[in-house]
Amino acid sequence: MDNKEDFDLNEIDYTGFIRVSGYKSTISASDMSYAITALLETETPVASNLITEDSSALDISHQHDDPVIIQSFNIAYDALNAKSAGSSLKSEGSSLSNLVNGGDLSGSEGLGAGIRLAMQLQKSIISAAVGLVDKNAITRLKHFRYAYLYASGSSGQEPVSNLSRNARKNSSSKDPFIFSRPLALCKLAHFLMDMHRDKWVNKNARPLVLLAEKPKTNTFLVVGYNFAQYEGDMTKNTFRKFFQYTAKSMEGLCHVRLDTFEGNAVEVEAGGEHRFIEQLHYLMDVL
């Protein structure tokens, strides 16, 4: 970009690795990472169709496993192989030649679809972050900040009973909420931290808790994201024990399911998300 200085776009280039296949195909390691992550985190039509057409092909060892997540994993795994067979990969995966300079990203599987989904996800992250800030929907408590995201596009602190009902009414079950997966919601939290890094420092520094509605399961996904004062710093996840204590304190009131390897994500039944935030704040205050 020759005129990047005109738009105050500095340091948009960085050193990385690329893979060159023949004379036509070049893809960077970062693009590969974004594409595979997007395929893992996004419910593509292909994943849904595979479940509908042949649910017997799934090997689900636990009843609570999400078959869409399993199919998304299979699609992402296949996309790692540039020579994957399969009819849907022929246009985007056999040689990767059409990925050069953007190429044809119209397919529903393979790296091309992953790159397109990654771009869509980033646009959604920016849009959601700006919406939360414009609506002043991020609430600051003593120990953390939090905000709600609804599938209808609404956000804020309105009564959850009304908003959840409207969100489920207005959102299609065939069009899943993009922030109903842990990594996507964590990316939004990271972006919000970057937006406010100069303001959320010293006495204003707090972790961020985001709650995203999942209309399909009538639950809320909750993620906790720790504050890092400097960009690129690694911080220890402190939410595992607090989420575990909070879930235990709510036994019998609502079902809470711990998720993700790091333990910074839980799933709470709709109607119990406000109570979860109250209990979380109380436990962080006394522990």
CATH code that applies to domain 135-286: 3.10.310.40
pLDDT of residue 281: 95
pLDDT tens-place string over residues 108-167: 667 788 888 898 899 999 999 999 999 999 999 999 999 999 987 655 444 333 333 443
pLDDT at position 23, please? 62
Beta bridge partners of 219: 214, 269
Tokens of 215: 């209309």
Higher-confidence residue of 12 and 35: namely 35
> Would you place residue 66 in the very low, low, confident or very high pLDDT band (cuts 50, 70, 90)?
low
The two three-digit tokens of residue 92, written as one number: 């985007």
DSSP lists the bridge partners of residue 256 as 268
Query: Rounded distance, CA 185 to CA 168, Å?
Result: 19
Mean pLDDT throughout 67-72?
Answer: 78
pTM for the predicted model, two decimal places: 0.76
Q: How many other C-beta atoms lie within 10 A of the C-beta of residue 285?
A: 10
How do residues 90-107 score in pLDDT, each as one tens digit?
A: 444 444 544 544 445 556
| pLDDT at residue 175 is higher than 90 | no
Residue 7 Cα distances to 75, 122, 127, 197, 198, angstroms: 38, 20, 20, 21, 21
CA angle 241, 257, 233 (to 5 degrees): 45
**Given a cut of 50, is residue 47 above it in pLDDT?**
yes
Q: What percent of the chain is predicted at pLDDT more than 70? A: 63
Amino acid at 254: C
- Report whether 47 contacts 68 (CB < 8 A): yes
Question: Cβ distance 246 to 256 under 8 Å?
Answer: yes
Q: What is the pLDDT of residue 48?
A: 56
- Per-residue tokens: 20: 């060159």
Q: pLDDT exceeding 90 applies to what percent of the chain?
A: 25
DSSP state, residue 6? G
- Which range is most confident: 122-136, 227-241, 247-261? 122-136
pLDDT at 157: 40
Q: Give pLDDT, residue 173.
A: 40
3-state helix, strand, coil in the chain (%, to 5): 45, 15, 40
Average pLDDT, the chain: 74
Higher-confidence position of 52 and 143: 143
Contacts of 244 (CB under 8 A, 6+ apart): 258, 263
More confident residue, 171 or 185: 185
By the 8 A CB rule, do 129 and 195 touch?
yes
- Name the range with the highest mean pLDDT among 123-127, 168-172, 230-234: 123-127
Residue span(s) of the chain under CATH 3.10.310.40 come to: 135-286
